[in-house]
A and B are shown apart, each in its own frame.
Chain A
């Protein structure tokens, strides 16, 4: 078994005439939390969808746990868990039923026990039997992430887990993601917030206009940033200063 959980090489994808991915390369090690940092529309979700076998790449290769997304999509799906951009919980079902549903779909032998353990772990036991559409944004997101942990997928995709959440809920989700690290699960996180990548990720890749422009740990990225410079800027005199200067000179000349 290789040490690479996700390998992406020269990935290209266009939608109609818009080129979204223009040759993306990166690799994520097993057990690592890797952040794809990029602004809105940089192509983060496109990469996640290709890795989750929901989209086909135009060119290039993408592998998850050694399985090619095009050649062995069902093996890829057996190794991953996707948490999309919006909390994909079923509002008509209770939190517990949501977890049991995913557990059953993942052929869990004891779906109810799995659900209860996750509810406990995510602090949702108190609201377990309430319909998910009554949950707050943070609670729904926690349930959403809990649903991704059913079945112990080797790789978890968290696509913008805190977008649209207020700062308090954001801290709540960060705490959840931090608790996942060190469990051996590989996490690919996408985010628009530098602070979030800083807080959560072991390594960060910056995606800009369809290409990865920098990859490394936070320290490595900081080192590659331009060093602090002292600049001298020529300051244009104002009309008043010119006037005073001229008047002053004349007085001196006098």
Chain B
């Protein structure tokens, strides 16, 4: 554990010293949020009935987009360390074999938490009015952390296997756009049937619905289990796959 924290400290220092990574992680979702609230929001709201706070409505989707782009840096960091031989040096040290991976996971959790915090602050400025209780806030934080954890392990796979930097982060593009194909920004009622079935049942849809209920004080029902099942399922599969790749590739 101690070694994992030492390596975590190193990576957090990296993040603080390369403001560009902070800016891309936070700015892209902020720009998206501005666009949805001020450009599309007005039009979307007309189909949603009165009393809908659109800033509240779109925030969960923006948060998922932020995390999806944030985890791509885990893949890039891993790839760069492997390419520069730093990873080999770390693995030849008398520290636990998995410490270099877990330090990346920890870095991802903390840096994404910071990004989410910034996004929520910006949303508050734009008119986000949460009506959840502290317990619900905790629940929202928990599901976001679980989502980040699952995607981070997913990101470790290309981080370990990619042949180029571009190859290491390209996996995040579909993830960033997946919230568009859900109820994250617009209601799904007007979508063609096939698309609508996908949009209502894909992994991010359930998580978006749960976050929305938790943050806006709606009733929380089945979506808890759907969201948890997706997050834990992705986490388990990605973790086992990543560890398999790590043990195979790194110790041929």
Interface residues of A (CB under 8 A from B): 15, 49, 52-56, 74, 77-78, 80-93, 97, 101-102, 104-106, 147
Q: Is the CB of B6 within 8 A of A93?
A: no
Chain A: CB-nearest residue to B3? A105
Nearest-neighbour CB distance to chain A for B161, whole angstroms, equals 16
The stretch that binds A, out of B10-18, B54-62, B224-232, is: B10-18
Q: Please, how many angstroms separate the alpha-carbon atoms of A240 and B75 in the complex?
A: 73
Q: Is the CB of B250 within 8 A of A54?
A: yes
The stretch that binds A, out of B90-98, B131-139, B197-205, is: B90-98
Interface residues of B (CB under 8 A from A): 3, 6-7, 10, 13-14, 17-18, 84-86, 88-95, 250-252
Q: Is the CB of B94 within 8 A of A90?
A: no
Q: Please, how many angstroms separate the alpha-carbon atoms of A78 and B88 in the complex?
A: 15
Q: Given A15-B252, A93-B13, verify A105-B88 contact (CB < 8 Å).
A: no
**Can you list 12 A-B contacts (CB < 8 A)?**
A52-B88, A52-B92, A74-B94, A77-B92, A82-B88, A84-B88, A88-B85, A91-B84, A92-B14, A101-B6, A105-B90, A106-B94
Cβ–Cβ < 8 Å partners of A77 in chain B:
92-94
Not counting A54-B251, A88-B86, A92-B13, a sample of 7 additional A-B residue pairs whose C-beta atoms are within 8 angstroms of each other reads A52-B88, A53-B92, A84-B88, A88-B84, A90-B86, A105-B90, A105-B93
Nearest-neighbour CB distance to chain B for A38, whole angstroms, equals 20
Q: Is the CB of B93 within 8 A of A106?
A: yes
Nearest-neighbour CB distance to chain A for B79, whole angstroms, equals 15
Cβ–Cβ < 8 Å partners of B252 in chain A:
15, 55-56
In this complex, the member of A49, A52, A83, A92 whose beta carbon has the largest number of chain B beta carbons within 10 angstroms is A92
Nearest-neighbour CB distance to chain A for B225, whole angstroms, equals 42
Q: Please, how many angstroms separate the alpha-carbon atoms of A82 and B18 in the complex?
A: 28
In this complex, the member of B17, B18, B86, B90 whose beta carbon has the largest number of chain A beta carbons within 10 angstroms is B86
Chain A: CB-nearest residue to B93? A105
Cβ–Cβ < 8 Å partners of A82 in chain B:
88-89, 92
The residue from B85, B90, B250, B251 contacting A85, defined by CB atoms under 8 A apart:
B85
Cβ–Cβ < 8 Å partners of B95 in chain A:
105
Q: Please, how many angstroms separate the alpha-carbon atoms of A93 and B93 in the complex?
A: 19
Chain B: CB-nearest residue to A147? B89
Nearest-neighbour CB distance to chain A for B250, whole angstroms, equals 7
Q: Please, how many angstroms separate the alpha-carbon atoms of A54 and B86 in the complex?
A: 13
Q: Given A55-B251, A105-B6, A105-B7, verify A88-B89 contact (CB < 8 Å).
A: yes
Cβ–Cβ < 8 Å partners of A55 in chain B:
251-252
Chain B: CB-nearest residue to A13? B252
Nearest-neighbour CB distance to chain A for B206, whole angstroms, equals 38
Cβ–Cβ < 8 Å partners of B18 in chain A:
92
Q: Is the CB of A78 within 8 A of B17?
A: no
Q: Please, how many angstroms separate the alpha-carbon atoms of A82 and B89 in the complex?
A: 6
Q: Is the CB of A104 within 8 A of B88?
A: no
Cβ–Cβ < 8 Å partners of B91 in chain A:
53-54
Q: Please, how many angstroms separate the alpha-carbon atoms of A189 and B191 in the complex?
A: 66
Q: Please, how many angstroms separate the alpha-carbon atoms of A81 and B91 in the complex?
A: 11
Chain A: CB-nearest residue to B251? A56
Q: Please, how many angstroms separate the alpha-carbon atoms of A81 and B90 in the complex?
A: 10
Cβ–Cβ < 8 Å partners of B7 in chain A:
105
Cβ–Cβ < 8 Å partners of A80 in chain B:
92
Chain B: CB-nearest residue to A86? B85
Cβ–Cβ < 8 Å partners of B3 in chain A:
105
